[in-house]
Structure 1
Amino acid sequence: MKIPSLLIPLMFIFTTNASLPVEVRGDEGMFLFNELPTERLKQRHDFDATSAWADELRLASVRFNVGGSGSFISSDGLVLTNHHVASDTLHKLSTPEMNLIENGYLAKTLDEELKAPDLELNQLVAIENVTERVNGAVAADATSEDAVKQRRAVIATIEAESFDETGLRSNVVTLFGGAQYHLYRYKKYTDVRLVWAPETEAAFFGGDADNFEYPRYNLDASIMRVYEDGKPAKLDHFLRWCQDPLADGDLVFVSGNPGRTQRIFTVDALKFLRDDRIPYTLDYLRRKEILMQQFGLEGTEQARRARDELFGIQNARKAYTGMLGGLQDPQTFVAKRGREDRLLSDLKKDPEMADLVSAWADIKAIQDDKREMLDQSVSLRSTLFDLALQIVLLTREDLKPNEERLREFTDSSRESLMQELLSTAPIYRDLEQVKLADEISRQIVLRGADNSLVQEILTGKGPRERAAALIEGTKLDDVDYRSELIDGGHDAVFGSKDPIVVLARTLEPEYRRLREKNEQIRERERQAYAKVAKAITAIEGTSGYPDATFTLRLAFGTVKGYNEDGKSIDPTTNFAGAYDHAKAHQGQPDFDLPPSWMKAKAEVNLDTQLNFVCTADIIGGNSGSPVVNRKGELVGLIFDGNIQSLTSDYLYSDDQARAVSVSGVGILEALRSIYNAKDLAESIGK
């Protein structure tokens, strides 16, 4: 359930920032920590969600800047997350001689812990409602263009003031379609080091065939450590570790950062997803999957270099295929259309509410504008080009007052941006050249060979020849050179003859034009969905949670199996099942347990719980989220959803949809019996 970095631009272009109240069923809900459903928890599960309980869980939870979640699990800085969330770091730390993704890693001493080149962890320490100030800064009669500027300015001012006052990362989050704006303050940890990771054969056991399926037998876990001032951080808030396995019916809670949901979307908006956006995205993913596979076939080292990106693409392709399948089922629209028709009918009966009806027509018209923008992009989606474009934009934005800058270039965002731009992670020129050539070729397909911008990109060369010249002439893979450009500011960047910097300067105006148009579309959509939110609240009442925004939320549910194809699926699996699963698929790719597991089989307590499912409401971004019990003790680690959960982007159901976790007792058993990491196991939860 990781959000692949490759897809973040697509997600942000083709989804609204609106996050709105939705109709709640069963254990549905991704709740704000400052607006928890205390009465519902008491009524449904006889649980008192006290402020102290919630604060402890919130402060023990962290967000990964690569698109995932995690939790503090010791007083000396240990952090638990998924192997596939950590894979970005594992990939960047790997070398031809030391393949950490494939072979795993264990630091036996602090000196052996490996520093991540550009990882940032965010701990949410405070939330403040700033709705009145944000909405008050946007004129009632403002055009969408003016509204974007006014809203951007006040948000930048609020974030800058907060950062100056506290020194904390400060982000204003849009909730309930603009009905609410909350200021989130985060403590940042930028010195993060790898402690332990299992082999891919254990973490992704079953491969693509088992991905989004259940039963599962995966050890999709990894442990890192945060440092401050060169020493392991001393933490007051961390999760204790439950030593007992879970049982059917147990109540559990998930604290994580779900990426994006679209459950408030109108029928017309869902049709756009079904007929346009998701098919377009799938075509893009299939193209990139083939590209990465072909590159990997050139040799063992090429396969290693492409592995992490290929995994993200394949994971996203399967997820989007499941989403599309759900939207193509006519029954999906029956409930949505029925609710929408009832809502519109009730609105039309009330003269004071009738003006809200126009929101649905506005949203329908907006889908046509989004459809026109679907294939318009100048992102060449290579690391080197992205760095160049960011540096070009940065030096331009630095010439403006803070409140007029694009959001990622404001003063409050600068430290995080610098960490990304000056990352020491390796950049592989052969892979970059292949990616650039393919993206240049794709621009020809999208815009036409005679398009003037395409001609400027090509400079008289074919895509492969042009990509080769760009890579041969650039110095952007040198961190010192990037630092010189940034320090030199506008004059240095716009005087640079580096060919990729020159290309970024060429494409900058079109990038800004497209971005501004997309932001205006999102502003119109935000205003329309704010009316929808008002209508839902007036007719149906407040339902309790907004759509996901990759910010910290609390979900809950029970450990529960389900029926599939006439079979009853047990909610838990164990180590014995993993060995049996490997034997049953002997000779098939991705079903071999690593040698460490086979060697230690006699030492492993085969009855120990390994994976489990529950009804908690999760989505991409929840990967690495801690699962805790009533006492707030860690009992598991979210790593996936089953295939039936892939409609959760726009529709929750607890009939068959389940969140899949690694069991806490399973992680401890593996550390002690398989990985000879007894000291690490003993330090967890203390």
Structure 2
Amino acid sequence: MKRLLLLCTFLLSFIQMRADEGMWLMMLVKRLNGQDLQKKGLKLTAEEIYSVNQSSLKDAIVQFGGGCTAEMVSKEGLLFTNHHCGYGQIAALSTPEKDHLTNGFWAMKKSEELPAKGLSVRFLVRMDDVTQRINSKLNNAMSAKERRDIIEAESKLIQQENSENGKYVVTVRDFYNGNEFYYFVYQDYKDVRLVGTPPNSIGKFGGDTDNWEWPRHTGDFSVFRVYSDANGNPAEYSPNNVPLKPKHHLPVSLKPFKPGDFSMIVGYPGRTNRYMTSYGIDQLVNKDYPAWVEASKTAMDVMKWYMDKDQATKLNYASQYASVANYWKNRAGTIESVNKNGTIQDKQKVEEVYQQWAEKEANRELYGNVLSDMKDYYAQTSARGIERNYAAQMTRNAKYIPYAINLSSMFKSYMAESDAAKKAELKKTIASRISSMYEKFNPALEQQMLKAMVSLYAQKVPAAAYAPSLYTINPALLDDVAKNSIFATEASAMAFLNNPDAEKLSRDALLKIANNYATDSRQAADKYVELDDKFSVSNRLFFDGLRKSHPNKEFYPDANSTMRITFGKISTLPFRDDRNYHGVTNNFYTDLDGTVAKYKKGDEEFDLPQRLIDLNAKRDYGQYADPAGYLPVNFLSDHDITGGNSGSPIMNGNGELIGLAFDGNSEALSGDIVFEEEWQKTINVDARYVLWVIDKFAGAGHLVEEMTIVK
């Protein structure tokens, strides 16, 4: 009964929510009866949005590669996602001779589509609420470890009950800071092929300069196709596989829209921390993110120096550089936004109200010390937070450290194997792994990266948290350490595999550095286990108390890479004096004239294909022109999204695709922490521009013919 009352309270607040804030779980759409979204423009029923028993909107949306979103746009398995989501695969399929990243690529028939190695897409089959089931086995007297063990055991049972002997992937996730639990049933398809991509000068137009900024003029899309076996089941790549017949695909709309028109986005937002305390935000923007920004910029500088000198290196490191650069600008912008928007002060006001509630006699025992305990936690772990951010960029970008650890483990297993047949098979596996790891590896770049990142770590990490082993190293010697290592190159690693020597492995200086750092990291983590466990309890109780202390306020779960829907409308931003809008007078869209106006011949960020310029000069827009005569490129909406939503479909009230979400705006880069109602926008690439590039620019009109076009 108590649970039912809680659900009813939540439903009431959900119905009263603002249309633009909140990333809502799909199954909650079933509770939308009585909602005024229909009055705002939603034409679909709850069953048409999310259904387990029949095809629905959810069946057209997939998680793309684990970190983005994509949508099915034809009955032949065709999907759209962002260019920057497909960037790594496009780069991996490129060579200096066939540079698809720079020049674009379009398969004119299915046999020309390129298998994207290692890429998969994930369909949501269903989800359900298991909060009552799991919480009935928990209580507040338990230790954090006891609680984790019970949740893990129950989650394994739920996975077994719903996987159908491995047919489905089942995950159990906690929500609301560990107060509620839901499980998700997925089906993964692993044969995904590149169908088309615009050249980098369209797909990444504006580069780092325009990233997170408005106005934008970026054709941020790419096209892939999902394949299955003859029965529609997931299968590894095979030339005998056939295009998947999805349960649902999105019609693509050519109809114009205007500010105020209803729209919605479905996707897989990665991570938000909307309920983080002021203490956590202070640590984030004044300690953690500055470390991230500095370390990522150091890594970018190393990559850029080598990428500018060699086209093969530029292609091989393009995806890594783009990812680091994206978050470098995001983190720097978040620091600025939090300070400018007074986010910490706003959180402190919320906490004042919370504390007044917590100090009431009925609440004091359980909730009275929660905020003070959280404040103490951040004070005690501040240095560790800084170390984690420098370390994250070091281990991510200085590949020699993880390579040495991973390959040495494989080598030891190989040398320990006594069965001849198993040993031969293991050797093949390791050789394949080495080939994959070093396929697009520049040893000179990696040697410099190791030296630069270890040096920065040693200089900047507080003594209270640093790994001691890194302070005994002379960074000037790291070049020679890497050059002379077993792990220096593919050739040296393969040579060791062909003639393994345990003594030589144990003497390898690079491996010693990597292992010593790993040992230091484990020992440091052990120091914080008790603090982290206490914090997890405080964090859970904080949200529980926050919800109880604000009975009339709606609360939505933080994003955690599960499918969400967000409602909103086409929107505008105020014009800024420091921006050139290239003739646009209604600041919700940009057009191709504005794109061409930004053109700088030969510029890495603002170059354009001559064909695009010529087509625009002729006003050769075909059926994709707006009735006002322009060709739309990008537009704004007020949806609540975050990383992971890249590639998400933005749809009108009929569930028709009108664009692809690809970015946020610099004015609201604090959006992962707090929703800035006045400023937070989503930047989308217009579906009409996507189709124009495919059809008129690339001459791949057969792909448009495959889609369901709504005029």
TM-score (norm 1): 0.83
Q: Alignment partner for residue 667 of structure 2, among 644, 647, 662?
A: 644
CA distance 1:185–1:344, change in 2 (3 Å):
same
Q: Deviations over 1:112-140 (max 9, x none)?
A: 11111111211111213233454456674
Identify the range of structure 1 (648-657 vs 372-381) with the bigger mean alpha-carbon deviation: 372-381
Q: Secondary structure at the match of 2:642?
A: coil
Q: Which amino acid aligns with 1:453?
A: S
- Is 1:439 aligned to residue 434 of structure 2? no
CA distance 1:428–1:522, change in 2 (3 Å):
same
1:414-453 aligned at under 5 Å gives the runs: 426-430=439-443, 431-445=445-459, 446=461, 453=469
Q: Which amino acid aligns with 1:370?
A: T
Q: Alignment partner for residue 590 of structure 2, among 573, 577, 600?
A: 573
Q: Deviations over 1:192-237 (max 9, x none)?
A: 1100000111112222222212222211000001112322222222
Unaligned residue ranges in structure 2 (runs of 5+): 1-12, 230-240, 414-431
Contact 2:278 2:347 in 1 (8 A): yes
Structure 1 CA distance for aligned equivalents of residues 703 and 125 of structure 2: 27
- Is 1:657 aligned to residue 671 of structure 2? no
Q: Secondary structure at the match of 1:196?
A: strand
Query: Residue in 2 aligned with 1:278?
Result: 289
1:192-203 aligned at under 5 Å gives the runs: 192-203=192-203
Offset of 1:33 from its aligned partner? 0.8
Q: Secondary structure at the match of 1:123?
A: strand
- Is 1:317 aligned to residue 338 of structure 2? no
Identify the range of structure 1 (130-139 vs 672-681) with the bigger mean alpha-carbon deviation: 130-139
CA distance 1:476–1:636, change in 2 (3 Å):
farther
Query: Residue in 2 aligned with 1:10?
Result: none
Q: Secondary structure at the match of 1:462?
A: helix
CA distance 1:44–1:441, change in 2 (3 Å):
farther
Structure 2 CA distance for aligned equivalents of residues 581 and 34 of structure 1: 44
Offset of 1:312 from its aligned partner? 1.8
Query: Residue in 1 aligned with 2:703?
Result: 680
Structure 2 CA distance for aligned equivalents of residues 611 and 43 of structure 1: 26
Contact 2:408 2:505 in 1 (8 A): no
Offset of 1:550 from its aligned partner? 1.6
- Is 1:258 aligned to residue 262 of structure 2? no
Offset of 1:387 from its aligned partner? 5.2
Q: Which amino acid aligns with 1:666?
A: Y
Q: Which has the higher contact order (CA 8 A, sep 6+)?
A: 1
Structure 1 CA distance for aligned equivalents of residues 487 and 343 of structure 2: 51
Structure 1 CA distance for aligned equivalents of residues 192 and 131 of structure 2: 34
Structure 1 CA distance for aligned equivalents of residues 126 and 399 of structure 2: 33
Q: Which amino acid aligns with 1:642?
A: N
Structure 1 CA distance for aligned equivalents of residues 180 and 529 of structure 2: 19
Query: Residue in 2 aligned with 1:454?
Result: 470
Q: Alignment partner for residue 609 of structure 2, among 594, 610, 630?
A: 594
- Is 1:336 aligned to residue 350 of structure 2? no
- Is 1:618 aligned to residue 641 of structure 2? yes
Query: Residue in 1 aligned with 2:10?
Result: none
Unaligned residue ranges in structure 1 (runs of 5+): 1-20, 398-418
Query: Residue in 2 aligned with 1:530?
Result: 540
1:171-570 aligned at under 5 Å gives the runs: 171-229=171-229, 230-329=241-340, 331-352=342-363, 355-374=366-385, 375-376=387-388, 377=391, 380-381=395-396, 382-383=398-399, 385-386=401-402, 389=405, 426-430=439-443, 431-445=445-459, 446=461, 453-454=469-470, 462-470=477-485, 473=488, 475=490, 507-514=517-524, 522-541=532-551, 543-565=554-576, 570=587
Query: Residue in 2 aligned with 1:32?
Result: 25
Q: Deviations over 1:498-521 (max 9, x none)?
A: 887776555544444455566765
Contact 2:268 2:645 in 1 (8 A): yes
Identify the range of structure 1 (291-300 vs 554-563) with the bigger mean alpha-carbon deviation: 291-300
Identify the range of structure 1 (344-353 vs 193-202) with the bigger mean alpha-carbon deviation: 344-353
Structure 1 CA distance for aligned equivalents of residues 79 and 493 of structure 2: 31
Q: Secondary structure at the match of 1:639?
A: strand
Offset of 1:176 from its aligned partner? 0.5
Identify the range of structure 1 (326-335 vs 612-621) with the bigger mean alpha-carbon deviation: 326-335
Query: Residue in 1 aligned with 2:40?
Result: 45
Structure 2 CA distance for aligned equivalents of residues 331 and 440 of structure 1: 35
Q: Deviations over 1:283-308 (max 9, x none)?
A: 11221121122222333333333322
Q: Deviations over 1:514-569 (max 9, x none)?
A: 55566765543332122122212212126241111122111111101121337975
Identify the range of structure 1 (380-389 vs 54-63) with the bigger mean alpha-carbon deviation: 380-389
Query: Residue in 1 aligned with 2:74?
Result: 74
TM-score (norm 2): 0.80
Structure 2 CA distance for aligned equivalents of residues 148 and 495 of structure 1: 38
Contact 2:651 2:658 in 1 (8 A): yes
Between the aligned residues of both structures, percent identity stands at: 24
Q: Which amino acid aligns with 1:237?
A: H
Offset of 1:160 from its aligned partner? 5.2
Identify the range of structure 1 (235-244 vs 435-444) with the bigger mean alpha-carbon deviation: 435-444
What is the aligned residue count? 636
Structure 1 CA distance for aligned equivalents of residues 182 and 87 of structure 2: 31
Identify the range of structure 1 (86-95 vs 342-351) with the bigger mean alpha-carbon deviation: 342-351
Offset of 1:579 from its aligned partner? 2.2
Offset of 1:594 from its aligned partner? 1.7
Identify the range of structure 1 (567-576 vs 217-226) with the bigger mean alpha-carbon deviation: 567-576
Q: Which amino acid aligns with 2:621?
A: V
Q: Which amino acid aligns with 1:680?
A: L
Structure 1 CA distance for aligned equivalents of residues 468 and 371 of structure 2: 38
Structure 1 CA distance for aligned equivalents of residues 536 and 503 of structure 2: 36
Structure 1 CA distance for aligned equivalents of residues 408 and 376 of structure 2: 34
Offset of 1:248 from its aligned partner? 2.1
Structure 2 CA distance for aligned equivalents of residues 266 and 307 of structure 1: 36
